[in-house]
Amino acid sequence: MKIFRFILPAMLLIASSCFSQPASTILSVSLKPGGSIRFNFFDVYGQLLHFKNNTNKDTVITKKISINKPSFLYYGNFLVHPEGPVFLTYPVLLIPGDTILLRQGEDNAIAVQHSSGYPNFIDSLISIPKDFYWHNLEQQQQTLLKTVGLTGMIQQIENSFRKNEVSIRNLNLPDMRAEILRKMNSSIKYTATAYLLVDSTVSTSSTTDSLYNDMYRHVNEIRSLNALNNTNIYRAIIAYNAKKRNRKLDYNDVWACVAGADEQVKQTDFYKDYITTMVAGGFVYAPEKMQEVNQALKSIRMQDPYLDTLYQLTNILSETFTNFNRAKQQLKVFANGRFSFIIENDEKSTNHERKSITNLAAINLYDFDGNQFDFKQVVTDSNYKLTLVDFWASWCIPCLNEMPALKKVEDKLKGKSIQFVAISIDKEEAIDKWIEAAKRNTIFSEPSQYRLANFKQSPLTKLINLKNIPRYLVIDNKGNILNDDFYRPSDNRFELALLKYLD
């Protein structure tokens, strides 16, 4: 099962730490006109810190974050070039009270300009494997297991851990910052260990028991840092514990493992953190699975009062697909409003800045036959409440990779008051490549396929500062831009967010 770390939240900021009271931590980003980045902030709700410059000049956007323990954030983006996409990650480790200023360069890359805390992005201080961000390498892991064995892999994990420890010593950091960076290193180590414990090809043994016991002993240390993969470490402890009690259990059956853990584990804070995350964080990143989670909780709800509370919560969250506003109101009063942040933070992560195309000069589009159309007339069709605009190009690999997911959502929303419009930014001399790419990706015969004329000088390009693709726009039939930097179709929030606009 592929588990992408870009879409799974971590844990609540509630664990005990050396910082007794929340402190304002300031994160600022200097952005170009129209620049926009989203940092993943790993609390239980999977918040996004959205920095967006809506002005026509370079501007510093500042956010104050209230945290009571060291917290890991990161931003990842594709830099789109004609020769192919380049993916970069920017991991930041914040301590309560830190002040950091980042700057967006001309190529959209991000650099640390000033920091009262760590001098640079964390992956320049210690080694962070790609597997830490997202885990879709099970096959490679199993191949490596066959090559070097479990003992060999454990040794590799330990060697990487020790190498990072040496790097931390050589940084000459203040003691507190060195200690927190060591906890980050432990998080990396235990993340790799967790993947081994729940690998279906790894048999339970005294060796795996030792790994499990080591993680369990250090669980409070793990909770003291709000890091990317806390959820997966807790999952491994819970699943391994349940598997020891019932060898027939499947590690991937989350709720069976939750129900099968022993009473000692069920009384721990990390157990409750984990199951809360699976519901609350899951709603943000996989809302279409709420009904499935609801049914799973229904079968185990009587085992524990807190499981019953979460079951009732999923009843409310499932209703967001049919009556979003009513579900939102219910969430405000359910459990004394304890879970109201789920929807509130999800809404805040979306840009609700309103722009309008009604007063723009003519925006010319062309279809495959060279016929000219007016963009404003296309998107203000009174037959539809909304228009989803997909900006792409024949040379943009990420754009093409999003098309199957977009088609799937488009098919699911047939009959609803929304139209899907695809607009290529290919140059006039690349029309043949545009047509070829459309045919190759089976969209040539689809309706509403256009090419934007004079892309660089188009009023639309300037209004939304269109520099990176893929880019998705949501517009109502009055010409108001509801969102000029919408989720990608492969993001599980894409469909639900469209339904919210349609509600």
Are 489 and 368 part of one and the same domain? yes
Eight-state DSSP code of residue 3: B
pLDDT in tens, 49-68: 778 887 888 999 999 888 88
pLDDT in tens, 239-288: 999 999 998 888 888 999 999 999 999 999 999 989 988 888 777 766 66
How many CA within 13 A on the CB side of residue 49? 22
| Last residue in a domain, options 129, 149, 179 | 129
279-290 CB burial, b ≥16 within 10 A, e <16? bbbbbbbbbeeb
Are 318 and 419 part of one and the same domain? no
Q: What is the mean pLDDT of residues 15-20?
A: 43
pLDDT at 130 over 70: yes
Looking up residue 432, the CATH number of its domain turns out to be 3.40.30.10
Asked if residue 321 is part of any domain, the answer here is yes
Are 419 and 296 part of one and the same domain? no
Rounded-to-integer distance, Cα 334 and Cα 497, Å: 22
Residue 291 structural domain:
286-349
Rounded-to-integer distance, Cα 39 and Cα 357, Å: 29
Are 360 and 492 part of one and the same domain? yes
Asked if residue 188 is part of any domain, the answer here is no
Are 335 and 423 part of one and the same domain? no
Residue 483 — very low, low, confident or very high, per pLDDT cuts 50/70/90?
confident
pLDDT in tens, 342-397: 776 554 433 333 578 888 888 889 999 899 999 999 999 889 999 999 999 988 88
Asked if residue 389 is part of any domain, the answer here is yes
Are 398 and 292 part of one and the same domain? no
pLDDT in tens, 301-357: 998 888 999 999 999 988 876 677 788 889 899 999 888 877 765 544 333 335 788
Rounded-to-integer distance, Cα 484 and Cα 473, Å: 5
Are 325 and 417 part of one and the same domain? no
Which pLDDT score is estimated for 352?
30
Asked if residue 249 is part of any domain, the answer here is no
Eight-state DSSP code of residue 362: P
Tokens of 225: 């840092």
Q: How many domains does the chain have?
A: 3
| Last residue in a domain, options 297, 325, 349 | 349
Tokens 């967010």 found at:
497
Are 59 and 18 part of one and the same domain? yes
Asked if residue 363 is part of any domain, the answer here is yes
Q: What is the mean pLDDT of residues 129-141?
A: 70
Are 377 and 440 part of one and the same domain? yes
Asked if residue 174 is part of any domain, the answer here is no
Are 334 and 454 part of one and the same domain? no
Asked if residue 41 is part of any domain, the answer here is yes
Asked if residue 147 is part of any domain, the answer here is no
Are 124 and 27 part of one and the same domain? yes
Q: What is the mean pLDDT of residues 211-215?
A: 97
pLDDT in tens, 402-441: 999 999 999 999 999 999 999 999 888 889 999 999 998 8
Are 440 and 330 part of one and the same domain? no
| Last residue in a domain, options 329, 349, 369 | 349
What is the per-residue DSSP string for 177-239? HHHHHHHHHHHHHHHHHHHHHT-TTSPP-HHHHHHHHHHHHTHHHHHTSB-TTHHHHHHHHHH
